[in-house]
Amino acid sequence: MAKRIGLFICWCGSNIGGVVDVPRVVEETKNYPGVAFATDYKYMCSEPGQNLIISKVKEHNLDRVVVASCTPMLHEPTFRKAIARAGLNPYMFDMANIREQCSWVHSNDKEAATQKAIALVKRALAKVSQVEPLFESSIPITKKALVVGAGIAGIQVALDIADSGHEVILLERESTIGGNMVKLDKTFPTMDCSACISTPKMVQAAQHPNITIMTYAELVDVQGYIGNFEITIKQKARYVDHTICTGCGLCTEKCPTKVLSSFELGMGKRKAIYIEFPQAVPNKPVIDPDNCRYLKNGKCGICKKLCPVGAVDFEQKDELIEEKVGAIVIATGYDLIKWEEIYGEYGYGRFKDVITGLQFERLVNASGPTNGLIQRPSDGKEPKTVVFIKCVGSRDEAKAKEYCSRACCMYTAKHAHQVIEKIEGGHAYIFYMDVRTPGKAYDEFYRRTVDEGAQYIRGRVSKIYQSGDKLVVMGADTLLGSAVHIEADLVVLATAMVPTEGSEKIAQLAGVNIDKDGFFIEAHPKLRPVETMTGGVFLAGACQGPKDIPDTVSQASGAAAKVAALLSNEEMATDPMICHIDEKMCSGCLVCKEVCPYKAISEKTITERIAGQPVERMVASVNTGLCQGCGNCTVACRAGAANLKGYTNLQLLSEVDALCR
């Protein structure tokens, strides 16, 4: 039966039509073998555009369709659905990308762009002449989600998914959930106490029947695919049996070893057996094996002797736990850039009184190492003159990161306000490049800080040096055009947010891409901001890019909504464009198995009749649930037995023929 192709060419307003001579493309391609109908339209993706396709399919009895418009990334699903509504198999379709790959990049040469558009349309016509109907199958969905990272992003995601009725594993590598937010003192612009609004959420997560919190644990393996991930979690040895520990705190009180606390960012101490902070969840200790005297050299063991319930267990080992989940949310958050390794002009960390904004949060925090008194690290004196330097590591192409870290302008305004408010006779100087305050009630907050007397100096700091017990800050005031020297008691750096250490490994495990700075890449920067290009893997919070708390929480709820939508289905349709092995041609060499990144190919024994005798032999077999249609196997297969449905060797060759003709 003769093929009846419908060809629909889109103007995309002036996006295509302003460069490509669309009527000429129709003219030049409408006589291509098999084309039964050809036309053009201003916006093919619009409702009238789609209705045009549907009516023409019916009117001209078309059996397949080509749309020449934008990238298939954008509207392939739209048009597939349209032709399905017209009664055709949705895979009897191909798209020619004459926008991103033609008009947008050749806008300075209209004639060449038109020629290229004609060639691209002919390619699509050649391909569509070879297509066959494909059918989706379905796979079951595991109705459980994994959330990696239990900062405010992860906690919010977990709560929202759990509230929608699905089970959640909330995974955290530290000994408590809470992340960076619980370290903060107040939150801008409302000055709510950070712990007062985040610790109740931690408790809520701990008590939610649908949430399983796993702290002191790391993701070590991910297998499977959307709806059906098989994950492996390493539960690090805590050396304390949390099932019997009552959290009485006797052990931490009596432990003789004190080390710098990472929770206090090196400004306070903790014991070798410790609970990070009083509101930690779970509120039970772990032993730090690098510093515990017993674990290091077999002496001490005081905690074990004193524990009234015998919960201390030095024999505990790391444990691997396997779980099945249908969706994964990455919420691994941020670290601050290691400025000590980059900024020699600020002393490479040699000056004790040059600290980061997060350290300042601990200093000013009532539950911090100084009980909320602003005391500088070197001698515990209250600083009178505090200099803040913004954009340390951010917006610095020469030495660090190009991007803006987004939260620093606001928290620096908050810190300056706190200096003025809390220190009698306190002065705050802020070196800045720009003041960026896009957010609800943000600029009002900044203005208030300026009105209170914070002195904003537009310029960079070239050097800090110690002179007696003062830090001399040398900088430029670029508005006055003069050099500035300030004798400061304390210098606070607004350091860049960077992806947290180890996020690269999580990206690898989950099969998600990261950008040049190490942040996770969303599926679309505007329209799919919480999804990734890997089905079933979602993003929340600062792991995707620097964010403040309101944006983080919004994104977390967005990711949770996506997960809830996915998990609300019993099963999901699979993409039919996957590998098919022609067993007659397969020699069973299994080179395809070697190159398959999804472990979708295995060996299978088939029985054939040769000369009337049954003969057993090995062939490759594809797991249709695991195959993602990447095509590696089709390239590797020497016999041509492996073929990608929708991109068969025959189809690709006919496209090449059409382009080269």
> Is residue 373 at the binding interface for another protein, with CB under 8 A as the rule?
no
Nearest to 147 by CA among 488, 468, 429, 537: 537
Q: Which is nearer to another protein, 281 or 389 (CB)?
A: 389
CA 192 to chain centre: 28
Neighbours of 111 (CB within 10 A): 11
CB of 460 to another protein, least distance (A): 14
Q: Count Cβ neighbours within 10 Å for each residue of 571-603 and write b for 16 or more, e otherwise.
A: ebebebbbbbbeeeebeebbbbbebbebebbee
CB of 452 to another protein, least distance (A): 32
CB contact set of 269 (below 8 Å; sequence gap of 6+):
258, 259, 260, 261, 369
> Is residue 340 at the binding interface for another protein, with CB under 8 A as the rule?
no
- Both tokens assigned to 655: 């496209």
Q: Work out the angle between the directed axes of helices 110-130 and 649-660 (0-180°, nearest 10).
A: 150
Q: How far apart are CA 207 and CA 202, in angstroms?
A: 9
Q: How far apart are CA 88 and CA 77, in angstroms?
A: 14
Residue 299, SS3 per DSSP: coil
Total residues contacting another protein by CB under 8 A comes to 10
Look at strands 642-644 and 579-581 and give their pairing: antiparallel
> Is residue 344 at the binding interface for another protein, with CB under 8 A as the rule?
yes
Q: Which is nearer to another protein, 188 or 343 (CB)?
A: 343
Neighbours of 609 (CB within 10 A): 8
Neighbours of 434 (CB within 10 A): 11
Nearest to 215 by CA among 178, 263, 166, 160: 178
- Both tokens assigned to 624: 């249709």
> Is residue 135 at the binding interface for another protein, with CB under 8 A as the rule?
no
Q: Which is nearer to another protein, 349 or 629 (CB)?
A: 349
x/- map, 445-484, another protein, by CB under 8 A: ------------------x-xxx----x------------
Q: Any alpha helices (H) in 18-88, and if so which ranges?
A: 22-29, 47-59, 72-85
CB of 479 to another protein, least distance (A): 23
Per CB under 8 A, the segment of 123-131, 342-350, 418-426, 571-579 that binds another protein is: 342-350
Q: Which is nearer to another protein, 467 or 482 (CB)?
A: 467
> Is residue 647 at the binding interface for another protein, with CB under 8 A as the rule?
no
> Is residue 31 at the binding interface for another protein, with CB under 8 A as the rule?
no
List 100, 323, 345, 487, residue binding another protein (CB under 8 A) = 345
Q: Which is nearer to another protein, 297 or 467 (CB)?
A: 467
Q: Judge contact between 336 and 497, C-beta under 8 A.
A: yes
CB of 345 to another protein, least distance (A): 5
Q: Which is nearer to another protein, 314 or 465 (CB)?
A: 465
x/- map, 347-366, another protein, by CB under 8 A: -x-x----------------
Q: Judge contact between 406 and 412, C-beta under 8 A.
A: no
> Is residue 517 at the binding interface for another protein, with CB under 8 A as the rule?
no
Name the amino acid, one letter, at 437: T
Q: Which is nearer to another protein, 135 or 348 (CB)?
A: 348
CB of 111 to another protein, least distance (A): 34
> Is residue 204 at the binding interface for another protein, with CB under 8 A as the rule?
no
Q: Which is nearer to another protein, 354 or 537 (CB)?
A: 354
Query: Which parts of 557-616 interact with another protein (CB under 8 A)?
Result: none
Where does this chain bind another protein (CB under 8 A)? 343-345, 348, 350, 463, 465-467, 472
